[in-house]
Each structure stands twice: as structure tokens, then as C-alpha cells.
Amino acid sequence: MVPSPLPDFSGRTVLVTGSTQNLGHTIALLFARAGARTILHGRALADAQAACDRIRAEVPAANLHAVNFSLGDAAAIDAAFSDLKQRDLAPDILINNAAHLGLGSDTSFLGQTPEFFREVVDANLHGTFRCSQLAALEMRARGKGGAIINITSLAGERCIWGRSAYNTSKAALEGLTRSMSLELAQHGIQVNCISAGYIWTPRWNDLSPEHVERRRKNTPGRAPTQQEEIARLTLFLASGQAPTLIGSRVVIDGGLNSQQVPSDATV
């Protein structure tokens, strides 16, 4: 199947958090191909600049910029957005993709430390809140509207065993999406979230063939969601082609959300 043409984002500025690799990088690449002025984000500036270089190799005419901050550092977020404003790079599209995966030596509910739980929630919820707030304030001031899209996870509704901090942060992020959408719609700022299930990343190459086969078998679509699928959905949500799609949780998960139990454990 030939992919459909991308929407035209000429004259628009997008910030994609967590865009040095995997899904965030694919989203940034498609926005760059669609003509957007694209800001790539990483924890380290060198990583964000290297990601810009990789996209520029594929899209030589791309208008790319790099920014760095930690989602768990509110002061760093404030400084980064202030710098973007001074450089006339305040985004009118914000893709909140970066996330703490909630992985560690002991992530069980009883075993994790309070500090670890707070670290995950600070990054995934508080960091996203502050990025969204600062971006929305500038969008409102310009009076031209905008779009904010939060990348959540099926784990916000169907939890992953032993990762309560991550599950909780993603569930809360979906609640934040709905709350933001109600208040920001009056300013022409469209807010939605994308809830994904299994996403193909190079980590799949490290799984045993048996593990991969079981994942595929237990996904109704029989395959993980490809990064470009989600990236294209992100562009659609930011394009204004569905202006009354507000506060929605768009699920793209190969059908995982539709099944009560996997096929190898039918009741």
C-alpha cells in the first residue's frame, strides 16, 4: 500500500519531546518531511543535535532545531521554553512523547522506593503538564490556536504487571488530556492523546523468537504497531482536519484493547 500524502505544515512550528530515537524521532521526521519547522528534544543537547543531523540527511531542506532539558526538572523546562520564545521558536504544535518507562531494579508496588515512584510521575505527568502549560500560554498570546498531543499508553487502562508508577502516570496523563482540552478549546488549542499498545522498536530484536511469536499471537492484528502509523496519526491530529475531535483518547494497539484475555488464555 502506497502511503497517503502528508498534510502541509509549512509555516508551523512543532516541538516533539523525546525525539532523539524511536517513536519521537519518527514523528519529528514526518513533520520535517511535511514542511514544519521542527524542534527535536533530548536530555542532552548533543543527542538532539545528532538527531537533527540524521533527519537532515534524509530531508536536506528541513528546518531543524535542537533543545534539551529533563522532564523531571521544572526549572530546566522553564529555561528551555524561554529560550525558544527568544529565538522565535515557540511551538504552535506540541507532541508530548518523552516518557520515563518506569524500569528499574525493583519496580514492583511493594518493592519500589517512594523516590522512584515520584521520579516517574514527575517526568511523565508533571513534566508534560509544564511543557503543555508553557506552550499553551504562548499559543493563546498569539491568538492563532494550536495543537497539543500527548502520547500515552494502553498501560494507563490495562496495566503492565510490576510497573505501577508507569501505569499510574499514563492513566493520570489521560485525565490531564481531558482537563486541558476543556479549558484550551476556547483558545483554539486542540488537545488529544494517542494510546498505543505494542510499538515496534529495535528492542524487539533482543527478544527471543518464542517471546515475539507469543506477542504476535496474542495481538488480534498479529503485529506490533509500526512507528510511522502513530506518527501519521499524530500529524492528522495536528492538521486541523477534524477540528471537533477534542479531548479524545485515540487507541492504536492492534486490537489489544478490545480483548478481555489473550487468545492463548481464552475462557
* CA nearest to 10, candidates 39, 45, 38: 38
Consecutive H or E run containing 98 = none
Q: Give the burial class of 188: count Cβ atoms within 10 A of its Cβ; 0-12 exposed, 13-18 middle, 19 or more buried.
A: middle
Per-residue pLDDT, 69 = 98
Per-residue pLDDT of the chain (267 residues; tens, 9 = 90+): 667 789 999 999 999 999 999 999 999 999 999 999 999 999 999 999 999 999 999 999 999 999 999 999 999 999 999 999 999 999 999 999 999 999 999 999 999 999 999 999 999 999 999 999 999 999 999 999 999 999 999 989 989 999 999 999 999 999 999 999 999 999 999 999 999 988 878 777 787 888 888 888 878 788 888 999 999 999 999 999 999 999 999 999 888 887 777 777 765
- What Å distances lie between residue 9 and 141, 189, 217, 233, CA to CA? 21, 16, 38, 14
Q: How far apart are CA 91 and CA 144, in angstroms?
A: 11
- The residues near 64 (Cβ < 8 Å, ≥ 6 apart) are 32, 38, 39, 40, 52, 55, 56
Q: pLDDT for 9-51, tens place per residue?
A: 999 999 999 999 999 999 999 999 999 999 999 999 999 999 9
All cell numbers assigned to 49: 543535535
* Residue 198 is among the residues annotated as catalytic for this protein: no
The predicted structure's pLDDT at residue 1 = 61
Give the C-alpha separation, 115 to 88, whole Å. Answer: 37
Q: Rounded to an integer, what distance in angstroms lies between the CA atom of residue 124 and that of residue 100?
A: 6
Whether residue 254 contacts residue 154, with contact meaning beta carbons closer than 8 Å, is answered with no
Any idea what DSSP says for residue 263?
Answer: G
Q: Which of 40, 166, 219, 248 is catalytic?
A: 166
Cα 164 from chain centroid (whole Å): 19
**Which pLDDT value is given to residue 266?**
63
Q: Give the rounded distance of the alpha carbon of 114 from its chain centre.
A: 25
- Tell me the C-alpha distance between 18 and 43, whole Å: 8
Calculate helix-pair angle for 22-33, 45-58, nearest 10 degrees. Answer: 50
pLDDT of amino acid 207: 79
Give every strand in the sheet of 37-42, ordered side by side. Answer: 64-68, 37-42, 13-16, 93-96, 146-153, 189-196, 249-252
Local structure of 17: helix, strand or coil: coil
**Cα–Cα distance, 159 to 238 (Å, whole number):** 28
